[in-house]
Amino acid sequence: MASFAVPGLGGSGLDIPSMLSQLRVAENQKLNPYLQKQSSFNGQVSSWGKISSSLDAIKSNMEKLQDEGFNGVSVGDNKAFKATAGKGAIPNSYSMVVKQLAKSHKIGTEPQTSNDKELGGSETNRKVSITLGDGKPMDVDLKKDETSLTQIAKKINEKNGDVTAEVMSAGGGKFKLVVTSKKTGSDGEITVNVDGDSTLAEVLNFDPKGSSKMTEITAAQNALIEIDGEEVERSSNTIADAITGITLELREVSEVVAEGPPKEYKSETLSVTADTSQVKTLIEEFVKNYNAFLNLSASVSAYTAPDKNADPTQPNTGNGALFGDGTLRRLTSQMKSTAVGNYGEASELYQSLATLGITVKFDDVNPGEERTGTIGLLSIDSKKLDEALKNNPKEVEALFLGKDGADGLKGRMEDVFKIYLGDSDSTPKTEGAITTAVKGLKEQESRIAKQITRVEMRIEDSLKRSEKEFLRLDKAMTEMNSLSQSLQAALLGLMKE
């Protein structure tokens, strides 16, 4: 009797690949408890990351309230300069005159008959040192075949330093090398010195205080302004240290009203006025960020009743990743108590957010119904807040930022942030409760990952042993089938005789 091989089957007819596949599925069930723990740890780490980011948003908002909100100022527009207000700027007005703009130093060689002719001597190597003001020299090494105007410009620009070089037409078919400082004023005054090649030095050497064959195209010039009659000189057209908290960007020289001497200029008024327009926006942002934190906290700690048909021995996947976490529960409680706390020591007029019109909102619930949503969300009475900011901005500021050593909302919030986010200003840095929790979770996840690897290795070893057993069984059954077929053939032969 002939036998036929069936694809995917052994000689005995056993479907070994299918048997191994089913066995793998069964064996992999051993991984489920470990995988569930690993997923749980990763979910908790992810949730703590979101909580941390949410707290950072509130913290950043509080810092903006102090830096840009209650201390906010606005500046008027001017023709000769642009002023930008930053931290430390206070309301005031100044008489401003721009007498002179800062200019970059620009020098050029004498006209040369060619831009690619070598200008150096017979020396193999030479060094060109370019210095700006009192700064550190930038050294450019040139080989014997790198002393043409084009090559010199290329090598200077390759340094990507504080000067640029270009070859320009000098008329009459001649060329010159022009070197321009990227810095303005005396800080950008250029000095060039060639070492190791006296021939090239005759072309390139330049000393702003001496004589040389290189010529000055544009002299280095400092900016010169006058603030309330006092002259201020700087090397840049951007001046940030003349008026506290104000950055000046000079645009053009002020209008000349009399040639003099001395010249007389038309002054402009720099007006710095108090601006609390940002305060309400930042307070609204605080409420939005605070409510977002509460919603997130409720989401990641949520409890969901298990399905009645669910396996009671398995974890409830409907719960939030941080359900039952004591650290999160304490954090949320402290944030709520801080937000609705009393700050009478800082402000007698507005002792709490509620007195500003920022109150805890509760949904209307009919008798017998359960309350839904996140408890403790804040709501703003915009009209009441507007009146407070308009009539008593300093008292509103005291409530948020504190006064005379008494903490406001920001101070107490910062105490909570230090506990849970840590203190980056301390030495050594103090880790927060969230970082500590995440570190512990990651350590547990790492141990679980190693356990998963070991179980996977045991499963693979078990499958290999099973495969060998199946192959031995297949071989034995194949031999038995072959023997059976031989016996049947022998019996048929005897019967025919």
In CATH, what number is assigned to the domain containing residue 188? 3.30.70
The count of domains in the chain is 3
Q: Give the contacts of 39 (CB within 8 A, at least 6 positions apart).
A: none
Angle between the N-to-C axes of helices 382-391 and 393-401, in degrees from 0 to 180, rounded to the nearest 10: 110
251 plus 201 within the same structural domain:
no
In this prediction, residue 164 carries a pLDDT of 97
181 plus 58 within the same structural domain:
no
Angle between the N-to-C axes of helices 393-401 and 409-421, in degrees from 0 to 180, rounded to the nearest 10: 20
Q: In 3-state terms, what secondary structure has residue 118?
A: coil
Q: Range of 197's domain?
A: 104-218
* pLDDT tier at 364, thresholds 50, 70, 90: low
- Checking phi first, is residue 46 left (phi over 0); if not, alpha (psi -120 to 50) or beta? alpha
Percent of the chain at pLDDT > 90 equals: 61
| Residue finishing a domain among 218, 244, 261 | 218
**Nearest CA among 311, 330, 278, 318 for reference residue 437:** 330
Written as one letter, the residue type at 460 is E
310 inside domain: no
198 inside domain: yes
Q: What is the mean pLDDT of the chain?
A: 89
54 plus 177 within the same structural domain:
no
164 plus 121 within the same structural domain:
yes
Percent of the chain at pLDDT > 70 equals: 93
449 plus 367 within the same structural domain:
yes
Q: Give the contacts of 106 (CB within 8 A, at least 6 positions apart).
A: 178, 179, 180, 181, 216, 217, 218
Q: Is the pLDDT of residue 488 over 90?
A: no
CA distance 473 to 118: 89
Neighbours of 238 (CB within 10 A): 14
Per DSSP, helices labelled H in 159-276 are 198-204
pLDDT digits (tens, 9 = 90+) for 416-452: 999 999 987 775 777 899 999 999 999 998 898 999 8
214 plus 176 within the same structural domain:
yes
83 plus 113 within the same structural domain:
no
51 plus 173 within the same structural domain:
no
pLDDT digits (tens, 9 = 90+) for 189-214: 999 999 999 999 999 999 998 888 89
In this prediction, residue 3 carries a pLDDT of 40
107 DSSP assignment: E
pLDDT digits (tens, 9 = 90+) for 58-89: 999 999 888 778 877 889 889 999 999 887 88
Q: What is the mean pLDDT of residues 364-389?
A: 78
Q: Is the pLDDT of residue 2 over 60?
A: no
458 plus 477 within the same structural domain:
yes
486 inside domain: yes
Written as one letter, the residue type at 304 is T
29 inside domain: yes
Q: How far is CA 437 from CA 17, 133, 163, in A?
A: 46, 54, 52
Spatial contact of 272 and 293, defined as CB atoms under 8 Å apart: no
308 inside domain: no
3 inside domain: yes
Q: What is the mean pLDDT of residues 288-311?
A: 86
34 plus 123 within the same structural domain:
no
Least confident of 55-64, 284-293, 360-369: 360-369
CA distance 153 to 138: 14
| Residue finishing a domain among 181, 197, 218 | 218
pLDDT digits (tens, 9 = 90+) for 229-240: 999 999 999 999
In this prediction, residue 327 carries a pLDDT of 94
119 inside domain: yes
| Residue finishing a domain among 218, 233, 266 | 218
343 inside domain: yes
The secondary element (H helix, E strand) that includes residue 233 is: strand 230-234
pLDDT digits (tens, 9 = 90+) for 117-161: 999 999 999 999 999 999 999 999 999 999 999 999 999 999 999
55 plus 200 within the same structural domain:
no
pLDDT digits (tens, 9 = 90+) for 255-278: 999 998 889 999 999 999 878 778
233 plus 268 within the same structural domain:
yes
In this prediction, residue 52 carries a pLDDT of 95
Angle (CA) 389 392 397, round 5°:
75
In this prediction, residue 175 carries a pLDDT of 97
